[in-house]
Homo-oligomer: A and B are copies of this chain.
Amino acid sequence: MKISFDDPSTALISRKVRPSYQRIKVLEYLIKNQCHPTVDQIFQDLQGEIPTLSKSTIYNTLKLFAAAGLIRVITIEENETRYDILTEDHGHFKCEKCGAIYNFAVDVDALATGDLTGFKVMEKNVYFKGICPKCL
C-alpha cells in the first residue's frame, strides 16, 4: 500500500495512471514542494517549464491523483483547496496570521472512535489553528 515516490513515473504506473508529461511534472512538483500548495501555486510555478499548461489540466490531474490515492485533499482553508502528497499520517497546523500550513506528527489511531461502530472510516484528518512561532 505504501507508495515509493523515488520515481514519479513508476509511482504513477503502479497506481494505474498513465504517466503523461504534465502528470509527471505535477507529481514531481508535489514531491519537491511538500508545502500544501493550492492549484494556483502549482499552476504558476509549472508554467515556466510548460508554457502551454492549462489550469484545467492541474484540476484534472489533482482529481485523478486523489482518486488514485496518490495525494490527499486538504480543506483547512475556507475558500481554497490544498493538496498534499500522501506520506505518513500527520496533522496540519494553520497559522491564522501568516496563513502558513505546518505538518506535525500525530497518532490518529490513538483517537477514540467508540461512537463510530457501524461506520466505515476511510480517512482521518486532524487540523489545528492558531499562531505560529514566527508570528508570535
Contact A121 to B128, CB < 8 A, known contacts A75-B76, A77-B75: yes
Contact A111 to B116, CB < 8 A, known contacts A75-B78, A128-B121, A130-B122: no
Write out the residue numbers on chain B whose beta carbons fall within 8 Å of the beta carbon of A13.
none
* Identical chains in the assembly: 2
Q: Is the CB of A107 within 8 A of B112?
A: yes
List CB contacts (< 8 Å) of A41-64 with chain B.
none
Interface size of A by CB at 8 A reads: 38
Q: Is the CB of A104 within 8 A of B93?
A: no
> Which residue of chain B is the closest to A91 with respect to CB atoms?
B111
> Which residue of chain B is the closest to A81 with respect to CB atoms?
B78
* 7 A-B residue pairs with CB within 8 Å: A73-B78, A75-B78, A104-B113, A120-B130, A120-B131, A122-B128, A123-B128
